[in-house]
Structure 1
């Protein structure tokens, strides 16, 4: 087989170029720190690197989301703490306002401070986050959560957000709530449960009031029917000069028989009943429907009572009881919301820790596939340099051979 001069040169040059390419690849690996310079170097490894890089990028976003969640939750927790402090101060003033020795001027002074607390609480309930969104407005975060409507009856504070919640992805399988809706924290707070007289027969004096709120609340919650209003009516019958019966009107069942003297108050399920009459006389009372009232409205109603110079002592006492129960229920709701925030922060912290562990594992796996082993690469560099030098020397020897060299 004959080899032409052209073939001889082509093969020699190709050998040199191949060795130069291999040497260049090793030099590039050392310079970049990457073992995979192109997908063809390791197709399977390249695919794994792409997948692991996507996972690392997702985890980086989850970490950002976790930080956003933490910032929002901590801000909300601070706001709720400020509201709690303000409302506790209002409660102290309410207790002070219930002191029988204070006069009209004292009530006026107390009303001024509670009015300021009301405005502070209202402002806090409309707090914005760093993005300018109203924290307690639910998903309607572009608009204030609570609005003030002026009316002839006084200021009215109403909720105009919704009960929805913004969610944020903190892992591939977990979303956490970013904010608590003001409807849940402030608006859906039970006002004081009450009863009202619906009719009477033959009695001269009638009074039904709540003496022990806790006992009455238990009775109300256990027996109130939102479906059948008739089930909420009860009747007190004077069956003897010294005895009354309390009946459930709808069923006719006798709930309790109580010792009685006309004009002397007696108690039933936390209620104080004061009636004057004779056997055969009766009074009907009904459990009032539960009402909900936000803390700003509760404070506002008490301010109106404090500023009402014509209010009777009985109505003033009722307004004070309404305010105290409303404040206590609001503080309980705020405390529950704070507990939820704490639990959510703990979950977020646990997920963040898991994400950090996954990030380390994925980066380590990716590095084992794509990052260069410098000891191995340096050895390969030396080998490729030697191969290139050999190819160059061979090229010089082969191309230098001719008939004249043979003659000499």
Structure 2
């Protein structure tokens, strides 16, 4: 069988190129520490590796998002902690202001400190994250949330939205709190109803905040649940040197007594249905001791009670009274404004002291509710920060698992690769030598 010289050269050249290509591939794998360099090396593994690379990228972004969310919420939580401390300082100031030994000028001195606390709170409410985004403006991160028109009159310019950050496939985490929820939408009174004195009162009566004995019954009370406690003071028939104080519970909407159904106002000099006992419970329900009304009053129970301390007053034309209404929203800054007004308008004497104490009690109650609102927001932030910590652990675990799986798919067995490299190098050297010897078989060498 005859073999052409060109065939011998072609076979040798092809073998040499093949071994050189194999050697180059092995060298590239060793340099990159990867088995799969191109999809042709392992199409199925390449597809899996591509999916894993995308999953790793998304997982890394979730980790970045979690860190960003955690940083923002920690700043918010730190700011709210300062708000908490400032409100507590205002509460201490209000308690000090209640000292009856303080004069009117001393109470005005306390107001100077109060105004400083007010400005401090306003600054905290308008805190930014260092990049110009306001913490408490809802979705409107670039809008200053609170603007002041006058002392105590603050307008919220943000919205009620919460900024969301994607921290995992199925979770968008709220990282912000709407300033309206923290600083404005705060229920006054005890959170269910609010008691207040009438500015025209002339006695020394001080109304308590009251309590709810049955929330369901209060919810069924006739809307808009606007009532008043009215007092009457008349000479005691048994001892004209003494007075008997009585009171009535009136539905301000209908102008009718809840106790006996009588229309208001009653005839001058008429005693009211219940006898007043200082500090005793004033219950908004039908009592066995109530007078029998004609026509009879349907049994009623609104599930609340309060009390009045001091000495209410009444004249032939006026009666001291206190209102009882459903709680409504009051802003923290409005509460501070009302407290400032009370400190500046204090008047000595039983009536003035009672008016001031009623205003002070209202302020303390609202401050307590404001503090509760801030603490609740802190609790929500704390829960979400715990969630970001949990997500961080999960993303780290996923990162490790993705890396492990990807390494198994494209990782290089160094021992086997080095052995193959050495073997292929030996074969390549042999191919080169044999090819060189084949080149000497040409007849032209002997011409």
Which category of TM-score, normalised to the shorter sequence, fits these structures?
0.7 to 0.9
Q: Is the helix fraction higher in 1 or 2?
A: 1
* Deviation (angstroms), 1:116: 0.2
Matches within 5 A, 1:161-200: 161-192=158-189, 193-195=193-195
* Deviation (angstroms), 1:113: 0.5
* Deviation (angstroms), 1:348: 1.1
Matches within 5 A, 1:210-249: 211-215=207-211, 222-223=217-218, 228-229=223-224, 232-233=226-227
Q: Which runs of 5+ in 2 are unaligned?
A: 238-243, 261-271, 283-304
Alignment coverage as a number of residue pairs:
391
For 1:321 and 1:82, the matched residues in 2 are separated by 24
For 2:152 and 2:228, the matched residues in 1 are separated by 36
Aligned to 1:81: 81
* 1:390 pairs with 2:430: yes
Q: 2:132 is paired with a residue of what secondary structure?
A: coil
CA offsets 1:163-201 (integer angstroms, 9 cap, x no match): 110011111221211111112222111123435799xxx
Aligned to 1:157: 154
Aligned to 1:202: none
* Deviation (angstroms), 1:226: 9.8
Residue 55 to residue 209, structure 1, CA distance change in 2 (3 Å):
farther
| C-alpha RMSD of matched pairs (Å) | 3.7
Match of 1:272 among 303, 308, 312: 308
For 1:227 and 1:393, the matched residues in 2 are separated by 109
Contact 1:196 1:287 in 2 (8 A): yes
Contact 1:264 1:275 in 2 (8 A): no
Residue 207 to residue 42, structure 1, CA distance change in 2 (3 Å):
farther
CA offsets 1:48-92 (integer angstroms, 9 cap, x no match): 111111111112111111111111111111111111111111111
CA offsets 1:220-246 (integer angstroms, 9 cap, x no match): 8852579833x54478899xx998775
Aligned to 2:299: none
Q: 1:133 is paired with a residue of what secondary structure?
A: coil
Matches within 5 A, 1:55-70: 55-70=55-70
For 2:361 and 2:109, the matched residues in 1 are separated by 19
For 1:164 and 1:227, the matched residues in 2 are separated by 34
For 1:402 and 1:55, the matched residues in 2 are separated by 61
Residue 362 to residue 132, structure 1, CA distance change in 2 (3 Å):
same
Aligned to 2:128: 128
Aligned to 2:409: 369
Matches within 5 A, 1:323-338: 323-338=363-378
Aligned to 2:266: none
* Deviation (angstroms), 1:376: 1.0
CA offsets 1:307-340 (integer angstroms, 9 cap, x no match): 2366943432222112101110011111111111
Aligned to 1:260: 275
* 1:351 pairs with 2:391: yes
For 1:94 and 1:309, the matched residues in 2 are separated by 13
* Deviation (angstroms), 1:210: 6.4
